[in-house]
Structure 1
Amino acid sequence: MNRLSKIKIFLGLMYLMVVTSVVIAFFYFGANTFLSPSYLIENKNYIFGLRDQNLILIGSVYFFFAIIWVFLMGFGTPLIIFAGFALGTVLGSVLSIFSFTIGATLLYCFANHYFKDLVEKYLGNKYSKLKNNINENELSYFFSLRVVPGIPFPIKNLLPVLFNMKVKNYFLATLFGEAVPIIISVSIFSGISSAFQSNKDFSLNLLFAPEIFSPLLALALMSLVANYIKKKYFN
């Protein structure tokens, strides 16, 4: 085994150790409770006050944290909840779209260099059909893959390793493919945030508030379109 191979193995193991440590720390220290509805309701005044006084700082920290989080194969939902609740639809969506795209692209480049064999071993057989079809037009095909449901976000970020996708195409497909789902999802939690600020009761009636119902309707329509794409191109 040459020196380069040893370095790649070392870096790969270090990455896996960091990912494992972050996941353990996230749940051990109860970080997930900060995103629970009960916590957000009980601390809404403190959260909104902190946001209004430090919006630029919070936005900057969120942006760089999201890049690292996605690079470490974290799920996007916790970030989306925070972005919508604390940053609002516009700023939360913009920061999420670009941070998710950058983090996913860094993960793809890293995995393609250090974990290519591992990705092919665990995902190659399951997604062999994708590997055969995507070579026809990798940009549009991966864009469609970004929209369809049923594949976890970290797995979507790693799948292009199977067919050695160009980094430019990966970046563009992720940027535009994740944009609509992110905007809709952030809008939902931003609507909930606005309802909290207006001191509305947290009940089912809240779902029919325009700021929440509209993005929920858009989410339902997007799901129909995504399922149509899935049936037509991925079955």
Structure 2
Amino acid sequence: MSDMTQPTPAAGLKRHLPLLTILSVAVIGFFTLGDYLTFDTLRDNREALLNLRDSHFALMALGFVAVYIVIVAFSLPGAAVASVTGGFLFGLWAGTLFNVVAATIGAVAIFLAARAGLGQALSAKLETSEGTVKKLKNGLQENEVSVLFLLRLVPVVPFFVANLLPALVGVKFRNFLMTTALGIIPGAFVFTSIGVGLGEVFDRGETPDLSLLWAPHVIGPILGLAALAALPIVIKAIRGKKEI
């Protein structure tokens, strides 16, 4: 008599389908959308977008958030352009809010898709692991929130990696959601603030300078927040050595 609990190949493929879809769309988008989701496109359509915002603010806000969610969820090119556009269209505070909400929802979509497929299988293997892998897994569980905040606050970590990696190692969804929503606020604020002055940049015939993120007065506070996020890990490590 066959074991009815064994997953069929079709069921396994279905479980991986969301992540496979995201990866497929991401690859296609990388090669096809790079020339469209740009500041040039925004500049060429600025008047139409501003008129639509003024006449249908709620509809424009919902449409912007929806497009941004798709960009993040499918890792399409143009996330930085979208963040700056939020400030250009809606101002600093509303723009930052829309950017954070959209980026968080998009990140959650990737997380859930990865956890349903590869993450489920990998997490099961980690649970039965031994030796160094087990120590790393236990260390992650003990410092989960701090590590997730570090992934968000350290600028060199790609956003897609910060969405995918936590799902593959089995972090708690509530911790992922919280650290994403809070951890992306500093970066979102900077990009949105660039967008607030975008009209003047376009009037001068220039392109927005996104290198502002690396200016000392901007990157300094963000790295300071990253250091605070890492502090609990350092304290636990020091206490562990003293106990030994």
TM-score, normalization by structure 1: 0.72
Q: 1:175 aligns with which of 167, 181, 199?
A: 181
Extract unaligned runs of 5+ from structure 2: 124-132, 235-244
1:219 paired to 2:218: yes
CA contact (8 A) 1:181 1:219 kept: no
Q: 2:71 maps to which residue? A: 69
Q: 1:124 maps to which residue? A: none
Q: Distance in 1 between matches of 2:136 and 2:58?
A: 41
TM-score, normalization by structure 2: 0.70
Percent identity, aligned pairs only, is 24
Q: Deviations over 1:50-106 (max 9, x none)?
A: 222222112102223333332223463232133223332222211121222122123
Aligned ranges for residues 1-235 of structure 1 at < 5 Å?
A: 2-3=6-7, 6-13=10-17, 15-17=19-21, 19-21=23-25, 23-24=27-28, 27-28=31-32, 31-74=33-76, 76-116=79-119, 131=137, 133-193=139-199, 195=200, 200-203=203-206, 218-222=217-221, 224-225=223-224
SS of structure 2 residue aligned to 1:86: helix
Q: Distance in 1 between matches of 2:68 and 2:106?
A: 7
The verdict on how the C-alpha distance between 1:217 and 1:86 changes in structure 2, with shifts beyond 3 A counting, is farther
Whose radius of gyration is greater, 1 or 2? 2
Question: Alpha carbon RMSD of aligned pairs, Å?
Answer: 3.7
- 4+ residue segments displaced more than 4 Å: 117-120, 128-132, 213-218, 226-234
SS of structure 2 residue aligned to 1:140: helix
Q: Match of 1:83, as an amino acid? A: G
CA contact (8 A) 2:110 2:163 kept: yes
Q: CA deviation at 1:158?
A: 1.2
